[in-house]
Chain A
Amino acid sequence: MSFLLGKSTWNAVASSANRRAFMRCIAQMSSKVNFEEMVKGKPIVVFMKGTPDAPRCGFSNAVCQILKFHGVDGFESYDVLANEDIRQGVKEFTKWPTIPQVFFNGEFLGGCDIMLDMHKNGELIEELKKIGIRSALLDNSDGTDKS
């Protein structure tokens, strides 16, 4: 890299904070991916490792299982292991450093920990309702249907 930029420029980006900003800038310039478009108007989009049928990471699998538990099966997903631009780009887009990443109606909801939290405290049922999906848990005889 240094032979392309010249020593003084490279020194300027050598501190770790500057380097991060620099790499982000480069990533944005070279990004061929329009994440805004990818998530806009879609009820659920998941950026994950592997596919919902064959997740390749325990955290990605957990997100899929949680959604399935609520009866959500046919959500849109992107395998970040299959596309490096998406893998790096989505982290820049959300300023979130880990995969999986879940979007409801174009809005970033969080990763595995947050989905698990929302599942445990019942908020996920409400979030699904907001995007027009009735959680299957509400139909179970021992469910918590208050509607």
Chain B
Amino acid sequence: MAARLLTRCLHLRTFHLLPSTNPYSIGGAAFATTAMSGDKPIENALRQKLTDALKPQFLDVINESYMHNVPKGTESHFKVVIVSSAFENVKRIQKHQLVHKAIQEELDNSVHALSIVAKTPAEWEVSQDVGKSPACRGGAGL
């Protein structure tokens, strides 16, 4: 488990700290900016903060804004699928609250809808079903 986590951390570090040494880099700094935050600053912030706070074994941050009545490229509606030992012996509501807490700033300022699938590694072994988010029905905001 520790080895897997370490690999994941190393992967993140490589991605975030060394983009300018990427052999495919075009124009150095400009590419680095794109590689670090891209045009998805909120999605990347969510990923980073959840990784730091909950050390997940699995994490997927999905921008579902395109399913809603917002301009293309908007980062407003997200689904988070997160598997972490931090959820062991934690009630269902509290699992979600751990996620809320880690990304409080984004929830307060930019994220309008958040769907969460939060599981322990054991629960994730049993079922990797993350369901489908419901279609939008027009009401705006969180």
Binding site for B on A (CB under 8 A): 16, 20, 49-50, 55-62, 81, 91, 95-99, 108-114, 116-118
**Pair B136/A57 contact, Cβ less than 8 Å:** yes
Which positions 84-142 of chain B face chain A at CB distance < 8 Å? 92-93, 96-97, 100, 104-105, 107-109, 113-117, 131, 133-139, 142
**Pair A62/B134 contact, Cβ less than 8 Å:** yes
Contacts A95-B97, A110-B96 given; indicate if A57 touches B137 (C-beta within 8 A): yes
Taking the nearest CB of chain B, how far is it from the CB of A45, in angstroms?
Answer: 16
B-side interface residues, number (CB < 8 Å): 24
**Pair A96/B115 contact, Cβ less than 8 Å:** no
Contact with A114, one of B93, B107, B135 (Cβ below 8 angstroms): B93
Bound Cα distance from A91 to B133, whole angstroms:
22
Residue of B nearest to A97 (CB): B107
**Pair A55/B137 contact, Cβ less than 8 Å:** yes
**Pair B93/A50 contact, Cβ less than 8 Å:** no
**Pair A56/B137 contact, Cβ less than 8 Å:** yes
5 cross-chain CB contacts under 8 A: A50-B137, A59-B113, A61-B137, A113-B96, A114-B93
Contact with B93, one of A60, A99, A110 (Cβ below 8 angstroms): A110
Contacts A58-B133, A97-B107, A114-B96 given; indicate if A81 touches B139 (C-beta within 8 A): yes
Bound Cα distance from A27 to B135, whole angstroms:
31
Taking the nearest CB of chain B, how far is it from the CB of A70, in angstroms?
Answer: 17
**Pair A97/B115 contact, Cβ less than 8 Å:** no
Q: Which B residues lie within 8 Å of A56 (CB)?
A: 137-139
Taking the nearest CB of chain B, how far is it from the CB of A99, in angstroms?
Answer: 7
